[in-house]
Amino acid sequence: MPSPGLSNRFWGNATPSSEDVALNDERRLLALNAAQMGTWFWDLESQTIQWDDQGRRLFGQPEGSTGAACEEFFSLLHPDDRQATREAVNNAVEKRCEYDMIHRVMWPDGSVHWLRCKGKPEPGPQPKRILGLTVEINWLKRAEELMRTNERLATEAALANALAHEINNPLEIICNVLYLLHRSNLDANQETLHAAATEAFQRIEQITRHMLTIHSRSDQPSRFKLAACVETAVIEHTRAAREREVVLESRCDKEVEFCGMTSEVQQIVSALLANALESVDQGGRIIVHGFASRDWTKHRRRGIRLVVADNGRGVPEEVRAMLFHPFTAGTKKASGLGLWACNTIVSRYGGTIKFRSSVAPGRSGTAVSVFLRPLPDSPDSSSPKVSAFPISD
């Protein structure tokens, strides 16, 4: 016999008390909330679905909603997933097996969310309900998409690198021929043709250089000071800015450290500066800002942000949608590969690149914002090392 002071829940043959049942329910609820899982059951007789409050949120339903009719539930799903979900439910009922389905849900605000729903019919010859759980897997789909993107970009970069090497050899011959022609006595018409050929050669050389740098990467990332890295890229363009009387200003937090490829971060800043210099007129202004930041989504991931802003002519409306595609440029002299190369690097870091631009007279200009996450190869790369993290951008 157990001692009088010992709870019955420690004895296997004892009936759980109401306190034990309530405690177990509380534990289950805490576990579900911690995992952000929702529970539901499908009433096969009335063809209705009931969900708890977390399930309501996952399906994007308003406050107070406790469920939906069967057809109403299917209307919440992405049109491409409805038939497969119907078949999965019918298969679970007919074969008395588990229901395990990944599908998309359309929220009232138009956003699309990936959910995994897993359930099982009640035991017995004629089950009346399917009991199940739902969890959001947007993060998993983003990771899969990022992996596919990285694989595609790696293939494209390798191809670009191979093509650049093939182009580079005849370019050397053309360069030598242009040099010899420049040293010979040319008349005015020949000088004009030579200048046009030289300009075309320089454009091809710039494209080739971008194609070569896209594939070149260091073996291992390293931790470095962001300010020093950005300053190196800024110095590269100081002379060109001075010749055009353009004010080039760098504002970087000197305490911020970042784990990644120094050359790649410099390439991003250099490409954005080159684009800005092509856009601004004589006497214009360009500001480069680097600081610790967050990806302001619901995950609020830490990283660094690079902002390059200018008061130039702005990006034409017809070019904006394709600005980060290869051979698309906002100016006639640009190669059209600099921003594409930036986008390629940003994708490898799981970051984002956004811009705002105006062509309105008197208030024209462009601001490009790049967010980079630290590379995970370093043991301490989960966040930039800063003395005080800013509250906002």
Assigned token pair, 322: 């394709």
Look at strands 285-295 and 247-252 and give their pairing.
Answer: parallel
| Residue of 220 and 262 predicted with greater confidence | 262
d(CA 371, CA 351) in angstroms, rounded, equals 5
Least confident of 164-168, 213-217, 222-226, 244-248: 213-217
| Residue of 148 and 4 predicted with greater confidence | 148
Residue 248 has pLDDT above 90, yes or no: yes
Instruction: Give percent of the chain with pLDDT exceeding 90.
Output: 29
Choices 1.10.150, 1.10.287, 1.10.10, 2.60.40: CATH for 140-216: 1.10.287
Residue 218 has pLDDT above 60, yes or no: no
Q: What is the CATH number of domain 219-393?
A: 3.30.565.10
Q: What is the spatial order of strands in the sheet that 301-310 belongs to?
A: 247-252, 285-295, 301-310, 365-372, 352-358
CATH 3.40.50.1700 matches 18-136: no
H helices of the chain, in order, are 18-34, 53-58, 70-76, 82-95, 138-183, 188-215, 226-243, 262-279, 317-320, 338-348
86-127 pLDDT, tens per residue? 999 888 888 888 889 999 999 999 999 999 999 988 887 788
Look at strands 301-310 and 352-358 and give their pairing.
Answer: unpaired
The arithmetic mean of pLDDT across residues 41-69, rounded, is: 91
Residue 178, CA distances (Å) to 87, 165, 205, 253 in order = 69, 20, 13, 45
Q: Specify the pLDDT at position 7.
A: 44
137-181 pLDDT, tens per residue? 888 887 777 777 766 766 776 677 677 777 777 887 888 888 888
The arithmetic mean of pLDDT across residues 279-292, rounded, is: 93
Using 50, 70 and 90 to split pLDDT, how confident is the model at 29? Answer: low
Least confident of 136-145, 285-294, 301-310, 367-376: 136-145
Least confident of 70-74, 239-243, 285-289: 239-243
Q: Specify the pLDDT at position 389.
A: 29
- Statement: the pTM of the whole predicted model exceeds 0.85: no
d(CA 153, CA 165) in angstroms, rounded, equals 18
Q: Specify the pLDDT at position 215.
A: 57
Using 50, 70 and 90 to split pLDDT, how confident is the model at 377? Answer: low
Q: Where are the domains of the chain?
A: 18-136, 140-216, 219-393
d(CA 236, CA 230) in angstroms, rounded, equals 10
Q: Specify the pLDDT at position 322.
A: 73
The arithmetic mean of pLDDT across residues 301-310, rounded, is: 92
d(CA 26, CA 349) in angstroms, rounded, equals 41
324-362 pLDDT, tens per residue? 665 555 444 444 556 777 888 888 888 888 889 999 988
- Residue 235: count of CB within 10 angstroms of its CB: 11
Q: Specify the pLDDT at position 198.
A: 83
Residue 288: CB partners within 8 Å, gap ≥ 6? 230, 234, 248, 249, 250, 251, 252, 269, 272, 273, 306, 307, 308
